[in-house]
Structure 1
Amino acid sequence: MIRDTIKQTQIDAMKGGDKERLAAVRLILAKLKDRDIELRTASQKPEDDALVIETLQKMAKQRRESITMYVDGGREELAEQERKELKVIEEFLPRQMSQEETCAAIEAIKTELGAQSVKDMGRVMAELKARHGTVLDMSAASRLVKESLS
């Protein structure tokens, strides 16, 4: 399980004295604990690895957005801190699909659903997320789906 790997990484970082890595791993564990608390009252709980991957993807997206804002604002030192955290977060994510693989998946789904215009974008995105959500950057995929349906 991914959660166990993250906890082991925390222990290794503590033993190795790697303070930056330890801080990033603690951020991940804190976010996972928040998600666990949110789901206590949920009637349907997702499988643990899916929950962890979803949480990590959200954290990675937040870091990428922050990096862009910091670079645009001339705050390179803050952007560098976000890059370090992003690197640690990405270690626990499954390998993401390449742009070519994403385009191939989009084309297959378009053909299967008979999607031809931007009106069909919602159906294509829903199917894409259902099939490949854990290994796909959905914001990049959204852009690619829109381009292919235009």
Structure 2
Amino acid sequence: MLKRDTISSALKQALVGTDKCRLTTLRLIQAAIRDRDEAAKAHGGDGVADSDIVEMLQTMVRQRDVSAREFEEMGQLDLAEQEKRESQIIREFLPRQVEGDAMQALCAETVTDLDAHGLRDIGRCMSALKTRYPGQMDFVKASCVVRDLLRVGSNGSALASNGAADTRPAGDGDESGKLS
């Protein structure tokens, strides 16, 4: 089932229910999808794809998480709770997210598979991750993980400390782990 259909179905159910926060959040999502569809059609497209909807939902979650933190810092706990509730509702429509050690392992595997060695390979690694795991991880966080892995790798240290084998040929650095 397409994301937009799932969201439309949830909106119809929310219209019958009594959860006003759920109803307004789902309407907000529908409006954002409609806006993106119209923009895509204005540029000759057919509308937004599911992958674009997932990206949009991820952005909406990040925005609400940031807002919730800011409201908490300002002592406006009721607004922070509302942002957290909206974030939970939006997350229902996202694929199950890969996080923590699993994300670290997938990033390390991708770095190893691509034989990436330095920070210049971040783009290539991120492109591969987005192709392999569309919508399944927070790519902002994944980018930080990849950057750390490649930074360690570019310093001559083994990637093994981050869960991946060092696949570089011997002699890429001196014995102290520093590049000449």
- The question of a shared fold, defined as TM-score above 0.5 by the shorter chain, is answered with yes
The alignment's C-alpha RMSD in Å is: 1.7
Q: Which residue of 2 aligns with 1:42?
A: 43
Higher mean C-alpha displacement, 138-147 vs 40-49: 40-49
Higher mean C-alpha displacement, 84-93 vs 113-122: 113-122
Aligned counterparts, 1:1-150, within 5 A: 1-43=2-44, 48-150=49-151
1:129, CA displacement in angstroms?
1.7
Checking the alignment, whether the CA contact within 8 Å between 2:15 and 2:23 is kept in structure 1 is yes
> Which digits, 9 at most, give the CA deviation of each residue in 1:91-142, with x for residues without a partner?
0111011222211221121112211222222221122122213111011111
> Which digits, 9 at most, give the CA deviation of each residue in 1:52-80, with x for residues without a partner?
21211111111112122222222222111
Tell me how far apart the structure 1 counterparts of residues 81 and 114 of structure 2 sit (CA, whole Å): 43
Looking at CA atoms only, which structure, 1 or 2, has the larger radius of gyration?
2
The TM-score normalised by the length of structure 1 is: 0.90
Tell me how far apart the structure 1 counterparts of residues 64 and 9 of structure 2 sit (CA, whole Å): 23
Aligned residues: 150
Gaps of 5+ in 2: 152-180
Comparing both structures, which one devotes a greater share of its residues to helix?
Answer: 1
Identity across the alignment (%): 37
1:86, CA displacement in angstroms?
0.4
Tell me how far apart the structure 2 counterparts of residues 5 and 124 of structure 1 sit (CA, whole Å): 31
Tell me how far apart the structure 2 counterparts of residues 70 and 143 of structure 1 sit (CA, whole Å): 26
